[in-house]
Chain A
Amino acid sequence: MVAKGEDQAAERQWERELLEEFADPRSRNRAFERLVRQYQKPLYYHIRRMVLDHDEADDLVQNTLIRCYQALDRFEARSSLYTWLYRIATNLCLTHLEKKRKRRWLSLSDENTLREAEGQRETPVSRSDSPERILEKALLTLPPKQRLVFQMRYYDELPYEQMSEILGTSTGALKASYHWAFKKVENYLRHL
């Protein structure tokens, strides 16, 4: 996440200034460009980890940012700007994956999805593969939302409160979901 390591107060100050600049029609586009440059990479990689394919991730990133532009006037700063963007991106991803699943009649645990996304035929995962690759394939066996919870907690180290804001789910449910996801992945690794 972009805000990692930054003082939260400084981050909020930066957001306030950005929103003021955005509110002025003369500086709106300049402010938005600053916002995009600040958050584009973490947004992109968050989405890319979900959908794996670059073109799909590109579409979703753009849609996320377009919606952000259209709704930023109404943003009330009850959460951080990045949390809000993350939430938009997450919802778009989940919707996209669900449509894709119905369209193709493929389970999202199908590793063919990963192979297609990478544009190359890959051999099945083995113990000699890198931990990053093995873990990524293990996560593909999880349902999309559970995979998302795992990624947000494990990779992004988001606090449960922030995850709750993003996903609209209680912290208790998120903790349980993460616990089960963790166990499933461990089981996957033991059977490798």
Chain B
Amino acid sequence: MSKMHMSTPPFELDGPDGPIKARTDFRVPEGYFDTLPQRVLAAIEEEALAKEGQSSRPGAWVSVWGGLSVGQRWAVAASVVLVAGWLGIWRPWSGTKPKLDDPMLAQLTTSEISESLDLHIWSTGLVTEGTDDGVWGEPAWIRAEDIAGMDSLDIERSIVNWDEVETAEL
């Protein structure tokens, strides 16, 4: 369309014959309007069934979770932890307390249990590492059979000869 060329328009929009009629000669498939109401009702029913199916699926909960913002999800998670803790299901901050439900251990005193643990450590040699550093001299580990009847102070004295240490400095 040339902008330079202007001529009398082929017709007037508001001419004496009235407005130009809108096109109605669009090609429409035969029977289109006859079947449209039924097709629309069928589509409505299909959509209603699809919505019912979606709401009953477990996935609906996933979509609910997915609809939450990040902050909301954290709030939900924190609430679950608090409720679980209150119900006594899980207390991560309480540390682990061994449950002495063993009938044999339940009959022993605390000191007896403690001694048994010390013996266990020594007999397995678990405490040999890091002790041979020359500060205290070569350790004289007391064997389990040697400490029968000795208390802890005696055991310590047998390891270090304090008299020798004191006199050595002088």
A residues lining the B interface (CB < 8 Å):
29, 32-33, 36-37, 40-41, 44-45, 48-49, 54, 58, 61-62, 65-66, 69-70, 127, 131-136, 151, 154-157, 182, 185-186, 188-192
Contacts and interface: CB of A to CB of B under 8 A. Distances in A.
Given A62-B43, A185-B13, A132 B23 contact: yes
Interface of B: 1-3, 5-11, 13, 19-29, 32-33, 36-41, 43-44, 47
Given A62-B43, A191-B2, 11 more contacts: A32-B41, A36-B36, A40-B33, A45-B22, A48-B26, A54-B28, A69-B40, A151-B22, A154-B19, A157-B19, A192-B9
A151 B19 CA distance: 11
Contacts of B2: 191
A44 B13 CA distance: 24
B40 to A, nearest CB: 5
Given A133-B23, A191-B1, A33 B37 contact: yes
A10 to B, nearest CB: 23
B33 A45 contact: no
Nearest to A48: B26
A132 B21 contact: yes
Contacts of B28: 44, 54
A29 B41 contact: yes
A37 B34 CA distance: 8
B44 A127 contact: no
10 contacts: A32-B40, A44-B33, A54-B29, A62-B36, A132-B22, A151-B22, A190-B8, A191-B3, A191-B5, A192-B7
Dominant SS among interface residues on chain B: loop
Nearest to A128: B10
Contact of B40 (A62, A151, A189): A62
Given A61-B36, A62-B40, A66-B47, A191 B6 contact: yes
Contacts of A54: 26-29
Contact of B1 (A155, A156, A192): A192
A189 B9 contact: yes
B29 A155 contact: no
A36 B40 contact: yes
Nearest to B19: A154
B10 A131 contact: yes
Given A36-B40, A41-B33, A54-B27, A190 B22 contact: no
A62 to B, nearest CB: 6
Nearest to A65: B40
Nearest to A183: B13
Contacts of B19: 154-155, 157
Contacts of A188: 1
A58 B157 CA distance: 101
Given A40-B36, A66-B40, A192-B10, A136 B1 contact: no
B44 A66 contact: yes
A49 B23 contact: yes
Contacts of B41: 29, 32-33
